[in-house]
């Protein structure tokens, strides 16, 4: 198991061109607190995400990572604090509004339409971009047909990008888990998000699938310039592909910085390995 996660880093030649230029802060989390009844899922968490970067959120089980992501795209409403997207503060934002602003996401437990084909699932990801009215689309006529052709082209490019041509017409429910994860990423990409939130994109995958997924995530980041926020458990993966890492433990932020800084942080080591309470 341990032999390979380094591969992504190794594949880059020593004399690689300089990394992509990071932009300003695109998404900021300010003093967010979230509780369910008496349980504090998040307590006063703040961090920011810069444009074009790969930002990882890590932490032990129950640290509040998924809750954080759910707050970021408006699925949960925090009791305190704000989410600032491109400088605007949002209170009580709904997920569809977040999507319309260019925030795409995938889920820890795959959320695809299982009975529909891969193609239809990805096309569904384009629905926000469809401009023609319902009846024209129903008739598949004139401008609606032209529009559908454009969308199909965009979808086909994503299919090519993620190398899933062979399952284009396969119902999602019949696919193995690793491919379903890839289809979910494809659907999130279809809305051409500027920020992509990935909830454990590599959970439950074997090494080869993880390598593929790492490659795709980095490619998305490079090729489309998409800002990526991901939650991941595999430390090898996180340290390899992220620019900056924020660490949560029991709903609090305990560290924030580059992979190297976080790796050597005593609070992080304690959180992961445990401390002896004497």
Partner 1 sequence: MAAEAAALDTFPKLLLHHAAVRGERPAIREKDLGIWQTWSWKQFADEVRVLACGLAEQGLKRGDHMALVGDNRPRLYAAMCAAQCLGAVPVPLYQDAVAAEMAFPIQNAQVAHALAEDQEQVDKLLEILTRCPSLEHIYFDDPRGLRKYAQPQLTSYERLREIGAAAYRRDPAFLETEIAKGSGEDPAAMFFTSGTTATPKGVVLTHHALIDRARAAAEMEGLGDEDVALAYLPPAWIGQNIFSYAQPLVTGYCICCPESAETVITDMREIGPTYYFAPPRVLEALLTQVSIRMEDAGRAKRAMYRHFMGLARRVGGAILDGRRVGALERLRYWLGDLFVYGPLRNALGMSRVRVAYTAGEAIGPDLFRFYRSIGINLKQLYGSTETSVFVCVQPNGQVKPDTVGPPVRGVELKFTPQRELLIRSPGLFREYYKNPQATAEAKDRDGWFHTGDAGYFDPDGHLKIIDRVKDVGKLADGTLFAPKYLENKLKFFPYVKEAVAFGNGRDRVCAFISIDMDAVGNWAERRKLAYTGYVDLASRDEVYELIGKCVEQVNADLAADAELAGSQIHRFLILHKELEADDEELTRTRKVRRGFIAEKYAPLVAALYGGERSVHVEAQVRYEDGRTASVKADLKIRDAKTFAPQAARRAA
The residues binding partner 1 (CB under 8 A) are 3-4, 11-13, 15-17, 152-153, 156-157, 159-161, 163, 165-166, 168-169, 215, 219, 222
Nearer Cβ to partner 1, position 200 or 234?
Answer: 234
List residues bridging with 183 in a β-sheet: none
Nearer to partner 1, 112 or 122 (CB): 122
The span from the CA of 219 to the CA of 196, in Å, is 13
**What is the spatial distance between Cα 98 and Cα 174, in angstroms, rounded to a whole number?**
31
CB of 198 to partner 1, least distance (A): 19
Q: Which is nearer to partner 1, 192 or 265 (CB)?
A: 192
Q: Rounded to the nearest whole angstrom, what is the least distance from the CB of residue 253 to partner 1 in the complex?
A: 32
Block residue for tokens 């491919």: 179
Residue where the block lists tokens 């990572």: 65
CA dist., res. 267 & res. 263, Å (int): 10
Residue with Cβ nearer partner 1 (69 or 237) = 237
Q: How far apart are CA 43 and CA 81, in angstroms?
A: 10
Tokens 């062979």 correspond to what residue? Answer: 166
For the record, the structure tokens of 20 come out as: 């992509």
Least Å distance, CB 256 to partner 1, is: 27
Task: Name the minimum Å distance from CB 128 to partner 1.
Answer: 22
How remote is the C-alpha of 70 from its chain's centroid? 11
- Residue 194 or 211: the one with the smaller Cβ distance to partner 1 is 211
Nearest approach, Cβ of residue 127 and partner 1 (Å): 20
């Amino acid at each position: 198991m341990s032999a390979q996660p380094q591969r992504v880093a190794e594949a880059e030649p020593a004399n690689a061109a300089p990394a992509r230029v990071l932009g300003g802060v695109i998404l900021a989390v300010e003093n967010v607190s979230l509780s369910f009844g008496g349980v504090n899922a998040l307590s006063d968490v703040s961090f920011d995400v810069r444009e074009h970067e790969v930002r990882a959120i890590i932490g032990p089980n129950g640290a509040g990572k998924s809750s954080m992501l759910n707050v970021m795209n408006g699925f949960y409403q925090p009791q305190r604090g704000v989410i600032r997207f491109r400088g605007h503060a949002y209170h009580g934002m709904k997920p569809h509004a977040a999507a319309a602003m260019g925030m795409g996401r995938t889920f820890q437990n795959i959320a695809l339409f299982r009975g529909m084909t891969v193609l239809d699932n990805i096309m569904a990801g384009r629905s926000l971009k469809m401009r023609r009215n319902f009846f024209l689309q129903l008739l598949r006529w004139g401008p609606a047909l032209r529009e559908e052709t454009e969308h199909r082209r965009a979808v086909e490019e994503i299919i090519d990008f993620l190398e899933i041509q062979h399952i284009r017409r396969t119902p999602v429910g019949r696919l193995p888990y690793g491919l379903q994860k890839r289809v979910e990423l494809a659907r999130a990409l279809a809305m051409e998000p500027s920020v992509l939130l990935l909830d454990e994109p590599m959970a439950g995958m074997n090494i080869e699938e993880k390598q593929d997924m790492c490659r795709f995530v980095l490619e998305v980041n490079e090729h489309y310039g998409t800002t990526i926020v991901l939650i991941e458990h595999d430390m090898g993966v996180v340290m390899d592909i992220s620019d900056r890492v924020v660490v949560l433990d029991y709903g609090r932020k305990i560290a924030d910085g580059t992979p190297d800084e976080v790796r050597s942080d005593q609070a992080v080591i304690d959180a992961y390995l445990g401390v002896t309470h004497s």
